[in-house]
Structure 1
């Protein structure tokens, strides 16, 4: 396979999306409306599906910032600045994200092997996203900061929305993180949650009795959506576009993305989410948060869950 040449990001930022099912299509729509990409390439094993989505999106060009959209074979995605992996099957009602693992791990190993010479940013969206981020990083051999999973960005957004609704403030004014696995062992960092410059636990009327039910609400959100409509897609599309925009513009935003950890909080050889600075080089710097003792113990348990999952497919 010839080496790919990445276009000058200052001239025309190009995004490729592998997999154009519900999630891939929502990512595509969100990327176009975000306005940072001048070119969007869609690829799928079902070539006609990718072609249909590209045609449909292109017909709306009068209503989003200037960009070209077209279907393309996988090899053309290797010349993009960023490649989103949304391939694989989605979750079924009652199925955990880790239940998806064996089927989607095979897909990710094949994709990763084809990315060895890729020079852009890889964003993994397919679930279980943490284990598959690890699989793609390992099989591609790319630097770990350039293989990013969307991780708990969506969980953190759900938490901010829930807190904002409870306190009658905008989610933008809530600063709170979910870390660890994007899944059942995720950890809400209540001790460091702030609203409008005030610690959440000092907010008038807030009690710790609200925390466990709200954490469960956030943890169960995807299952409830899948039970009702069969998939989650719109919010993760917005999350992925926001992550790509942070990288494309070099904004150095702190995002709770998943990447293979290399020592932060003593964590090694596992991909999970921690607050991380994202810029043009990817997830370049993990910002280790201060954790209450019970949060630290829960994060270690989450890491163990993910390590067990990684070992199960070794």
Structure 2
């Protein structure tokens, strides 16, 4: 069966998702849409001209309604954050856009992936507006934060990033939670690694949390890393890889959480994100996760229902 991915929004992030998806080889067809129709056409043409340098994939523009035929639709629509602005500051503007898209995709048979920020609340808005099951509406969540953490730890320890196993959960934002108690390096607990000082953890967690703001202050947006992250997520879904990834979805009981979208380790494959895992958390991490959930509940409460 042909694997078709739709991307709604062809700004900085959407185009980075597009080119990373093409290089991944996960899709046979890539459909683009933007409210700026000519921009979407130009991006489709530009990407198609590079067909000699990525696995076979048809690239074209499509309406949102036509994307109901896709296996996965990525939503990267809405505006980006401005310097000094938190992700939650974007909420009202982008929630309206996402709700409209969700209503258009109501009854869709595939899976929706949210990239637009604030991604957790928008994942909940999309789930409500589309009426799809929570397993089929995923946000990229703390996948990027987890990648940043692994990269920073690898740099500090002078090891390959792939040898670092550590996770960030909760909000993709200021209340995110680094699971230091479960972090490992090649199977060795990080806190037992020679030379590791737990006193450095708070500063490193802040560096991970502030990473996006630092990039935005310098270039105006973050796009390349989230493009790679999203393409990886799409590949896991389309190939049914059953990977455990820290994606965001509306929770249905893990750690006693219900009706709030945030990131926890989740088994991702065909059909989206099914089983949500409950990794071992120490008391401080559990309290921080509950705080993160409350931050997101309060943010969702500022929007009209539905």
Distance in 1 of aligned mates of 2:68 and 2:271: 17
Match of 1:197 in 2: 187
Match of 1:131 in 2: 121
How many residue pairs get aligned? The number is 304
What 5-or-longer segments of structure 1 have no aligned partner? 1-10
Distance in 2 of aligned mates of 1:255 and 1:74: 27
Match of 2:29 in 1: 39
Of 263, 268, 271, the residue aligned with 1:273 is 263
**How far off is 1:78 after superposition?**
1.2
Distance in 2 of aligned mates of 1:238 and 1:305: 28
Match of 1:21 in 2: 11
Match of 1:183 in 2: 173
**How far off is 1:293 after superposition?**
0.1
TM-score by length of 2: 0.99
Structure 2 residue 162 is matched with structure 1 residue 162? no
**How far off is 1:72 after superposition?**
1.4
Per the alignment, in what secondary structure is the counterpart of residue 91 of structure 1?
A: coil
Deviations 1:93-119 (A, max 9, x none): 000000000000111111111111211
Is contact 2:171-2:296 (8 Å) kept?
Answer: yes
Match of 2:54 in 1: 64
Per the alignment, in what secondary structure is the counterpart of residue 123 of structure 1?
A: strand
**How far off is 1:34 after superposition?**
0.2
What 5-or-longer segments of structure 2 have no aligned partner? none
Structure 2 residue 240 is matched with structure 1 residue 250? yes
Of 277, 302, 310, the residue aligned with 2:300 is 310
Match of 1:141 in 2: 131
Of 221, 227, 230, the residue aligned with 2:217 is 227
Runs of 4+ deviating beyond 3 Å: none
Structure 2 residue 253 is matched with structure 1 residue 260? no
Match of 2:202 in 1: 212
Is contact 2:111-2:136 (8 Å) kept?
Answer: yes
Match of 2:274 in 1: 284
Match of 1:297 in 2: 287
**How far off is 1:206 after superposition?**
0.3
Per the alignment, in what secondary structure is the counterpart of residue 42 of structure 1?
A: strand
Distance in 1 of aligned mates of 2:279 and 2:154: 22
Alignment root-mean-square deviation, CA:
0.5
Distance in 1 of aligned mates of 2:63 and 2:288: 43
Match of 1:106 in 2: 96
Distance in 1 of aligned mates of 2:144 and 2:206: 15
